[in-house]
C-alpha cells in the first residue's frame, strides 16, 4: 500500500505501529491524529488470524477490532477528516451466503461461528460509517476483500492465514524430507484468494473515487477448494510428500467466492494476478526473507 501511494505521488504517509500508538486506546488514537494531522485515513489495522487463532481469541478479536474502528472513526469526525477508508472482511458475510457473494446479501444471516466475532466487529464499522455520513457528512468508503496473500504476509504458524501457513509447512517439510504434512479439516471447503498488489490497487482507487460507505467486494471471482489449494502450494514449494487431513478440525465457512462486479463498475478495478503466479511470487519472497522473519512481530508487518 505504501509503495503504491508513493507511486501515485503521495509524499506524506504515516504508518502507525502498536509500539507507538495502540489503536484500541482512545487516547492513543487522539494523539495519532494530532501528531500525523491526516486528511485521509486508510484503516487496514486488524487483530486477526486463521481458524485456530479465531477459535482461541473470540473476545479479544471482537474487542480489538471494534475498538480500533470506533476510536478512529469518532476521531475522524472530531477533526473534520476529509475521508475515511475502512477495509472490512469477507468474514462478515453470513455462513450460508449464496455463491458468488453479493454485497446485498451482507445482512442476510449470521457469519460462520469461528469467524463471527471478527467479522461482526468489522461489519459494525460499516454501520458506524453510514451513520456518520448521514449525521455528520463524513466521507468514507468500505471494502470487503477476500482472503489476501503475498509478500510481507504473516507466516507465524499460530496466527497466519491458510496460504502463508501452508507455504511455511510445505517448505519446512520439503527440507526435512518429511513423508507427510497434516492439514486441518476435510479439504472440501472453498475459498477465493486475492494477491496483495491487486488488493492495494482496489483500496487506493476507493480512496480516490468513493465518498459513501457502499460495501464493495474485492476479489477474483475464482473459487478453489482447500484441497486443491494445498496441492498448488505443495507444487510451488516442490513438496512431494503425502497430504493428510484432520477432519476433527473445522473447515470454517463452507464456501467463499464473491461477485466483484460492483468494484469494476464503481472503481474500474479488476484483479490482475492469477493464483499460480501470485503463489510463485509469494514463495519466492518467503524463501528470500524467512531467515529475517523467524520471530514474527505484528508491529513490523500488516496488523496494528
Structural domains in the chain, CATH included, are 2-151+192-223+254-274+296-300 (3.40.50.720)
pLDDT band at 296 (very low <50, low <70, confident <90, very high): very low
Inform me whether the pLDDT recorded for 302 exceeds 50: no
Q: Average pLDDT, stretch 266-277?
A: 97
pLDDT at res. 271: 98
Cα-atom radius of gyration of the chain, to the nearest Å?
19
Per-residue pLDDT averaged across 228-254, rounded? 94
pLDDT at 130 over 70: yes
Tell me how long the chain is: 304
DSSP 174-208: HHHT-SEEEEES-S--EE-EEEHHHHHHHHHHHHH
pLDDT band, very low/low/confident/very high, at 300 (cuts 50, 70, 90):
very low
Please give the Cα distance from 179 to 194 (Å, whole number). Answer: 30
Q: What is the pLDDT of residue 77?
A: 98
Cα–chain center distance at 284:
21
Residues 137-185 have pLDDT tens digits of 999 999 999 999 999 999 998 888 899 999 999 999 999 999 999 998 9
Q: What is the pLDDT of residue 212?
A: 98
Question: What's the pLDDT band for 278 if we cut at 50, 70, 90?
Answer: very high
Give the pLDDT mean for 260-270: 98
Q: Which of 59-63, 130-134, 248-252 has the lowest mean pLDDT?
A: 248-252
- Of 21, 33, 118, 142, which is the active-site residue? 118
| Per-residue model confidence as pLDDT tens digits over 68-79 | 999 999 999 999
- Is 118 catalytic? The answer is yes
Per-residue pLDDT averaged across 209-230, rounded? 97
Across the range 244-248, mean pLDDT stands at 95
Amino acid at each position: 500500500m505504501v509503495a503504491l501511494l508513493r507511486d501515485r505521488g503521495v509524499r506524506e504517509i504515516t504508518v502507525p505501529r502498536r509500539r507507538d500508538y495502540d489503536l484500541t486506546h482512545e487516547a492513543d488514537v487522539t494523539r495519532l491524529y494530532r501528531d500525523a494531522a491526516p486528511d485521509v485515513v486508510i484503516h487496514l489495522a486488524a487483530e486477526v488470524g486463521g481458524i485456530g487463532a479465531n477459535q482461541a481469541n473470540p473476545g479479544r478479536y471482537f474487542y480489538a477490532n471494534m475498538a480500533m474502528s470506533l476510536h478512529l472513526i469518532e476521531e475522524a469526525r472530531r477533526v473534520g477528516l476529509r475521508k475515511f477508508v475502512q477495509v472490512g472482511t469477507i468474514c462478515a458475510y453470513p455462513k450460508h451466503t449464496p455463491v458468488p457473494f453479493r454485497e446485498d446479501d451482507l445482512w442476510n444471516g449470521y457469519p460462520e461461528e469461528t469467524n463471527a466475532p471478527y467479522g461482526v466487529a468489522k461489519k459494525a464499522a460499516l454501520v458506524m460509517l453510514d451513520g456518520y455520513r448521514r449525521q455528520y457528512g463524513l466521507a468514507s468508503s468500505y471494502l470487503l476483500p477476500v482472503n489476501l496473500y503475498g509478500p510481507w504476509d504473516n507466516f507465524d504458524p499460530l496466527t497466519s492465514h491458510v496460504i502463508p501457513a501452508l507455504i511455511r509447512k510445505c517448505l519446512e517439510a520439503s527440507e526435512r524430507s518429511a513423508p507427510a504434512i497434516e492439514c486441518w479439516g476435510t479439504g472440501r471447503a472453498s475459498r477465493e484468494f486475492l494477491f496483495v498488489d491487486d488488493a492495494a490497487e482496489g483500496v487506493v482507487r476507493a480512496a480516490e473515487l468513493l465518498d459513501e460507505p457502499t460495501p464493495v467486494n474485492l476479489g477474483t471471482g475464482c473459487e478453489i477448494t482447500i484441497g486443491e489449494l494445498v496441492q498448488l502450494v505443495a507444487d510451488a514449494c516442490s513438496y512431494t510428500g503425502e497430504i493428510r487431513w484432520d477432519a476433527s478440525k473445522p473447515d470454517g465457512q463452507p464456501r467463499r467466492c464473491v461477485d466483484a462486479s460492483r468494484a469494476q463498475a464503481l472503481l474500474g478495478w479488476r484483479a490482475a494476478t492469477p493464483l499460480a503466479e501470485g503463489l510463485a511470487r509469494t514463495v519466492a519472497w518467503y524463501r528470500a526473507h524467512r531467515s529475517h522473519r523467524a520471530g514474527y512481530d505484528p508491529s513490523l508487518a500488516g496488523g496494528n
